[in-house]
Amino acid sequence: MPSDARTAPIRRTAGPAAAVLTVLALAATACGPEDDTSPKAAPPASATASPSSKAGLSLPKSLKDLNLQDLKNWSLSDWSKWADAHGFKNDLVKGFWDLTRMEGAKGMDPQEAGIQSTTTAPENDPQPSVITAKPQQHPYSASTAVLGKIFMTVDADTGAVCSGTVVSDPAHPGRSNLVWTAAHCLHEGKGGDWFKKISFVPSFNRAGAASGGKRATEAQLAPYGSWAADYAVVSPQWVEEGGHKGGPASQYDFGVIRVHSESGDGRSLEETVGSSVPVWFNAPRDQITSAFAYGYPQAAPFDGRELEHCDSTVKPARLSFDASRPSMYNIGCTMTGGSSGGGWFVNRGGKPALISNNSIGPRPAAWMAGPALGAQAKQMFDYISQKKD
């Protein structure tokens, strides 16, 4: 679920970090987990409570013609039926996320890694070595302006925060208004509802005015303004199974929001920040030899004011709760709550591509896992990309 004001930055080593920044520049234009009590076992995923995927997924009576076990064969019309039945309605009031509310939002923890994986050994690799998250240098360039904070309310009085990434929209090239994040940053999961007042703030604290505990203005924290969510979609598996502890639903812990500027100047999000990153769906695992995770972690020892990153120069480990589902990626990372939903990037043909998002991890933070974005993630993305206003 969303962690109050936390993101999961990826650690960078000097060489790889510089390389990724260079790669990201080419694209310019254009929550806290529980302690892992079994360190010798395959790292547990921190996504859902205890529901088992074997129990089967259910649908409202009005949608019995759709089969959640056969999502790969859903048409865009099927996705539309399902999304309409689980209707997202954002009640955000313009100007709601002012300076006081942004600073008071709590980091949403990566899902708790409190249960052990139930899959066979071949589906899980040894726990990766710890990689310490490092802050991104100020001021953030257009290449890193694609990253930002997602604010939401989890009840009438509690604000929370995750991380998100501006991703390219094939249906609107150069004018994307889409932000990729974790499903648990948008929806409570099984038996729950959508979070409220969802808004994206790209390049939060871009110039570093709020760094080191300094008092900053709202304009300094949100240099590109606030972008309210018009629409949101998450995986059906998350809605049916998701919870507070790691589980099979974590393997589908992804979502997308479509936003508009509260300033009403008519420009798209991509045009405003100067960049977007394409999503690489169905990325062959043998081609993923490194991964760079970003986010705005807020739980100690972080304070939510810095964009952090964990740079893994080795192939991500596999982590799985259900062998019938795509294994998650797993890298060493010390990011904490608030980093949930932050993007994972790789170099694809000299350009950056998003392959995952921060989802689950243990407490204390030592590694971070994110879902592989396969066919169902692409179907979800195609649906919101092509959805008419």
Coil vs helix vs strand at 204: coil
Statement: residue 116 has pLDDT above 70: no
Query: What DSSP string describes 1-19?
Result: --EEE-B-PBP--HHHHHH
| Torsion sign across C-alpha atoms 15, 20, 22, 23 | positive
Does 368 or 6 have the greater pLDDT score? 368
Average pLDDT over residues 292-305: 95
Instruction: Give the range with max mean pLDDT: 56-60, 74-78, 185-189.
Output: 185-189
pTM over 0.85: no
Instruction: Give the range with max mean pLDDT: 68-72, 124-128, 169-173.
Output: 169-173
As a whole-number percent, the residues of the chain with pLDDT over 70 amount to 78
β-sheet bridge partners, residue 187: 194
Coil vs helix vs strand at 105: coil
**How far is Cα 374 from Cα 114, in angstroms, rounded to an integer?**
25
Confidence of residue 81 (pLDDT cuts 50, 70, 90): confident
Contacts of 212 (CB under 8 A, 6+ apart): none
Statement: residue 84 has pLDDT above 90: no
Predicted pLDDT of residue 122: 56
Predicted pLDDT of residue 76: 74
Average pLDDT over residues 278-304: 96
Predicted pLDDT of residue 69: 57
**How far is Cα 120 from Cα 107, in angstroms, rounded to an integer?**
33
Statement: residue 240 has pLDDT above 50: yes
Closest CA to 373 of 296, 275, 265, 291: 291
Average pLDDT over residues 237-264: 93
**How far is Cα 298 from Cα 302, in angstroms, rounded to an integer?**
5
Average pLDDT over residues 13-35: 33
Give pLDDT tens digits for 310-369. Answer: 999 999 999 999 999 999 999 999 999 999 999 999 999 999 999 999 999 998 999 999
Lowest mean pLDDT of 58-62, 261-265, 287-291, 361-365, name the range. Answer: 58-62
Lowest mean pLDDT of 66-80, 121-135, 242-256, 335-349, name the range. Answer: 66-80
Predicted pLDDT of residue 111: 57
Lowest mean pLDDT of 13-27, 300-314, 369-383, name the range. Answer: 13-27
Statement: residue 275 has pLDDT above 70: yes
Rounded to the nearest 10 degrees, what angle do helices 375-386 and 76-85 cross at?
80
Confidence of residue 86 (pLDDT cuts 50, 70, 90): confident
Give pLDDT tens digits for 193-226. Answer: 999 999 999 999 999 999 998 999 999 999 999 9
Predicted pLDDT of residue 163: 98
Cβ neighbour number for residue 78 with a 10 Å cutoff: 18
What angle (nearest 5°) sits at the alpha carbon of residue 114, between those of residues 109 and 117?
Answer: 120
Domain ranges of the chain: 3-54+72-386
Statement: residue 34 has pLDDT above 60: no
- Give the pairing of strands 111-112 and 360-361: parallel
List C-alpha distances in Å: 173 to 271, 278, 348, 385, 389: 10, 11, 19, 11, 17
**How far is Cα 314 from Cα 192, in angstroms, rounded to an integer?**
37
Burial of 75 (C-beta count, 10 Å sphere; 0-12/13-18/19+)? exposed
Lowest mean pLDDT of 111-120, 183-192, 333-342, 374-383, name the range. Answer: 111-120
Lowest mean pLDDT of 85-89, 131-135, 327-331, 332-336, name the range. Answer: 85-89
Amino acid at site 203: S
Average pLDDT, the chain: 81
Token pair, residue 200, equals 């994206």
Predicted pLDDT of residue 160: 93
Closest CA to 226 of 200, 203, 207, 198: 200
**How far is Cα 311 from Cα 9, in angstroms, rounded to an integer?**
9
List C-alpha distances in Å: 378 to 71, 76, 169: 11, 11, 12
Q: What share of the chain is helix, strand, coil (3-state, %, to 5)?
A: 20, 25, 55
Predicted pLDDT of residue 30: 28
List C-alpha distances in Å: 105 to 61, 198, 336: 37, 12, 15
**Cβ pair 203, 140 in contact under 8 A:** yes
Lowest mean pLDDT of 63-67, 196-200, 263-267, name the range. Answer: 63-67
